[in-house]
Structure 1
């Protein structure tokens, strides 16, 4: 039976509480010599290992009790221009770091029976916990002890970050009513460091009569009765993690536990299209189809319609999946659409991941085999089990930092699209046009025919937010153009870019999509400054999404491949659960004990 006062009480904590009433426990903080206070914190650390907030598997740690030492695996790293201490965790992720910080704050407060409640709607990207301001002195001393055992940092939101184990720190922070707490985490390479930006906010709510009043706005409530009901809720409500994981429980007031208008209550899937260009059988099939087409057609294919650069794989899919695991834990299912191919390193048994063969989704099997992404994209809405809302990604598109569903979908289900400054050329389509330009012109013609407007802008190479119902409607509305695109084995002047352009403009004109805003960068690896741009991206990590692409076969493909692989390994060093363990190409260091456990 789960206790409402302490939903995960352990035998150790029960013994501790039975021996010392709450008043005595609080006096321990100020009056008991440090050795005994440290012993108390060892007890709290045992609680932390029992209530753990992140799965061992997710963080690459071990369930071995020998790894619960207070200072194990600490490392000094440079983060945002300063040297800080961080715990080295083999499978570190941003979402796990956030969940861990929330968990540790909640564990300390519950162990000392400090009144608290978790908060939603602060417009911050981190979890938040509120405590009554009248208990501030007790809370500060408890946290000082906690930081003494597990080194971490406190900041005031103004860029000032200080050692949480120092009494001087807490005196300096006394005038601030909102603090950011963080126990830093890094991966073994120290390429990934999760500090204050992944911390947990602590708010001190002042008492006014019989009410507690918030020190800053939130979208739910800014005052509540002192004796308001405290309900037990899952911690993942306040710090989202992948659905497979359970992060424990915390307390809050009822208003913060119900669905809100800005919650995304619908599942969001991801669909990839992928090809293994090194597969001899696939290459033979492609070459035969290309030869047959050039014999039957009035002229050769456009140079960029079927050149090798269009199909080259540098293992980008592995790292794009890592970017989802690292920065988009809210993704529901992932579908990989292929021509019967499976990456050798892919863990096809992982829940929520499914391989989809072209033969499963093409409405007309005679259109296969196809080597045209436009044709494949025209059939994505036929994937069995696909949610109505999904993101379509090429394997050279990556999430570059934490993103939320709101980057791509409105809470009411409307999609967002991201227009490029690049323009669709004017005039009629000709065989000499670049395939991408011809496709854009065809999309413009259909929108003009249906809605009477003139579209001019291309779309950025970002994840495309799509609706199955819109794609189904497009097939019904433009049947002939849809059929021609499906049957085009290679890029053709007749193609329509259904998933990457037409969907967005059609949905916009039927009030189901809006123009979105996303911090994004496109890097052409054939550019002379590509290495410089990749170095800048790796150093700053300041884009929501990015695309690494080329359209021309390079003069030195080996050098180009090394450049891309070295960048991706450094940017995404943590293997995802979508990879077979034996195929993970990153050395795993032994991390601290588990912090999220599997549901």
Structure 2
């Protein structure tokens, strides 16, 4: 969009208001200096009008008291970020949504949420006739609470680093069909940065009267339909119905959509999913691994219903047992009997010591809507083909295995474990990955149970493999720094922390520093006094 305060913008208005024949006659009869003077006067008039409208929008935003944060800091790329204690990815998404919707409400601009194809972001729809007011109120919002705007359709991101309060950040707005507003957010330690892959997208829908029923037409496809009746009633809908990454807690404030969009997503999981964590090492680094696993669930899988800690060693005192966290004492080898865990959901994620989530995940990443598991495949080697678990899997099913399974969080079903136990197949010894000299192959329980589920038709191996690192790996610090900077690994697995090589070589300390920086935000599963623990410190 041309700068409304520029001479170029005045030229556009001049051309729109003055017919072409008149302009042609003026070009030959009116001196050039007079024409320039008229255009400059028009530019000043536009500047005053735009400044007045912007001030009005800014007053509305300030009266609504939108955009509060503890303080502002400079991000590594030079942009402005906002600090929030207890920041999570889901909280950042909710803050962005509330900022934009409350600003639109303050400007009395109607809107409704749209189930976008990319459910990492929340998408809002606004009638194109409100496009001018949207720009004014959003620019005022971005001035009050510094953020950034880019044009999504057509894709123009050269304004990515320009604060949205600047007029030049909106230079593509005139031809924009979809825009994206983003805010960078971080925790007080400035180790967790959220916002770059999120944001709120605003689509400008057009009214179509070609049919007897007036319709609204969207500028791009979505997960349901691109055309809806303009008089479709609005309804409240949970954020988790729009994005698989959202918390399923019903206490959160819903958003507004049209009745036409209240359709179950193809990948939507409607059954509860729990998490089971195995605690085996009553050591400082063992507690650190448990704390990091809980924080990874809190940060990247807010949809998990209940967390069950199966403690084969004395559980730490900082665990905040309650409705969402249960602690059960067990003997070594209890993994084979997790289907007997009290009140565990039929579907759950299993996290052994060192298994962590590295970025946001959805239930669909681990389960199908029909209830089958989607275990993560792993590498297949000659050693794997002769491993004890492959023989046990063949003995239980009569089918030869064809691939291994990855380290890190794995999905399981209590029903499948119970059915496997009913076959009478002898259980295998379970190795302690923290005491092995190298990264082990497929975990025996994962290999046997997932193969049994696959043969039974209740497991569909797929997904991304984990990043598995041994604490004694030479140069592990470089690997960890790369993981910290990129934060692009969906799953991580750390092994070998209980080996002499890791202790002598500094690998244990390197992993401890990494976990403190990667997961700086305490989870709801920790007591308040746990903030002073080792996992809450930064190096």
- The alignment's TM-score, normalised by the length of structure 2, stands at 0.80
Q: Does 1:576 align with 2:523?
A: yes
Q: 1:588 to 1:475 in 2, by over 3 A?
A: closer
- Compute the displacement of 1:521 (Å): 0.9
Q: Does 1:378 align with 2:336?
A: yes
Q: 1:512 to 1:115 in 2, by over 3 A?
A: same
Q: Is the 1:134–1:207 contact (alpha carbons within 8 Å) kept by the matching residues of 2?
A: no
- Compute the displacement of 1:529 (Å): 2.3
Q: 1:133 to 1:151 in 2, by over 3 A?
A: same
Distance 1:410 1:29 in 2: 55
- Give 2:478's aligned residue: 532
1:249 to 249, 254, 261: 254
- Give 1:134's aligned residue: 129
- Give 1:41's aligned residue: 61
- Compute the displacement of 1:567 (Å): 0.6
Distance 1:551 1:456 in 2: 30
What is the Cα-based RMSD across aligned positions, in Å?
A: 2.9
1:420 to 360, 364, 378: 378
Q: Is the 1:348–1:354 contact (alpha carbons within 8 Å) kept by the matching residues of 2?
A: yes
- Compute the displacement of 1:453 (Å): 2.9
Q: 1:272 to 1:316 in 2, by over 3 A?
A: same
- Give 2:184's aligned residue: 184
1:404 to 362, 365, 385: 362
Distance 1:141 1:34 in 2: 6
| Match runs of 1:74-153 below 5 Å | 74-78=72-76, 82-153=77-148
Q: 1:237 to 1:44 in 2, by over 3 A?
A: farther
Q: 1:397 to 1:427 in 2, by over 3 A?
A: closer
- Compute the displacement of 1:572 (Å): 0.8
Unaligned runs of 5+ in 2: 1-47, 436-441
Distance 1:182 1:480 in 2: 54
Q: Is the 1:236–1:247 contact (alpha carbons within 8 Å) kept by the matching residues of 2?
A: no
Q: Is the 1:29–1:138 contact (alpha carbons within 8 Å) kept by the matching residues of 2?
A: no
Distance 1:271 1:29 in 2: 61
Number of positions where the alignment pairs a residue of Structure 1 with one of Structure 2 = 469
- Give 1:221's aligned residue: 225
- Give 2:404's aligned residue: 458
Distance 1:29 1:232 in 2: 37
Deviations 1:323-355, CA, capped at 9 Å, x for gaps: 111111111110000136221222223x31000
Q: Which has the larger radius of gyration?
A: 2
- Give 1:298's aligned residue: none
Q: 1:251 to 1:179 in 2, by over 3 A?
A: same
Deviations 1:58-92, CA, capped at 9 Å, x for gaps: xxxxxxxxxx5xx75011112xxx31111111211
- Give 2:286's aligned residue: 313
Q: Is the 2:358–2:488 contact (alpha carbons within 8 Å) kept by the matching residues of 1?
A: yes
- Compute the displacement of 1:169 (Å): 1.9
- Give 1:504's aligned residue: 450
Q: Is the 1:131–1:202 contact (alpha carbons within 8 Å) kept by the matching residues of 2?
A: yes
Q: Does 1:560 align with 2:533?
A: no
| Match runs of 1:443-454 below 5 Å | 443-454=389-400
Distance 1:140 1:74 in 2: 24
Q: Is the 1:420–1:460 contact (alpha carbons within 8 Å) kept by the matching residues of 2?
A: yes
SS at match of 2:523: coil
Distance 2:240 2:280 in 1: 36
Distance 1:585 1:177 in 2: 49
Q: Is the 1:213–1:223 contact (alpha carbons within 8 Å) kept by the matching residues of 2?
A: yes
Distance 1:99 1:426 in 2: 45
- Compute the displacement of 1:196 (Å): 3.2
Distance 1:72 1:313 in 2: 33
Q: 1:512 to 1:480 in 2, by over 3 A?
A: closer
Q: 1:535 to 1:425 in 2, by over 3 A?
A: same
Distance 2:405 2:83 in 1: 40
- Compute the displacement of 1:241 (Å): 4.1
Which structure has the higher relative contact order (CA within 8 Å, separation 6+)? 1
Distance 2:55 2:384 in 1: 78
- Give 1:353's aligned residue: 325
SS at match of 1:174: helix
- The alignment's TM-score, normalised by the length of structure 1, stands at 0.73
- Compute the displacement of 1:226 (Å): 1.6
Q: Is the 1:423–1:456 contact (alpha carbons within 8 Å) kept by the matching residues of 2?
A: no
Q: Is the 1:102–1:200 contact (alpha carbons within 8 Å) kept by the matching residues of 2?
A: yes
Q: Is the 2:288–2:535 contact (alpha carbons within 8 Å) kept by the matching residues of 1?
A: no
SS at match of 1:569: helix
Q: Is the 1:573–1:586 contact (alpha carbons within 8 Å) kept by the matching residues of 2?
A: no
Unaligned runs of 5+ in 1: 1-27, 50-67, 280-311, 359-369, 429-436, 590-599
Q: Is the 2:208–2:217 contact (alpha carbons within 8 Å) kept by the matching residues of 1?
A: yes
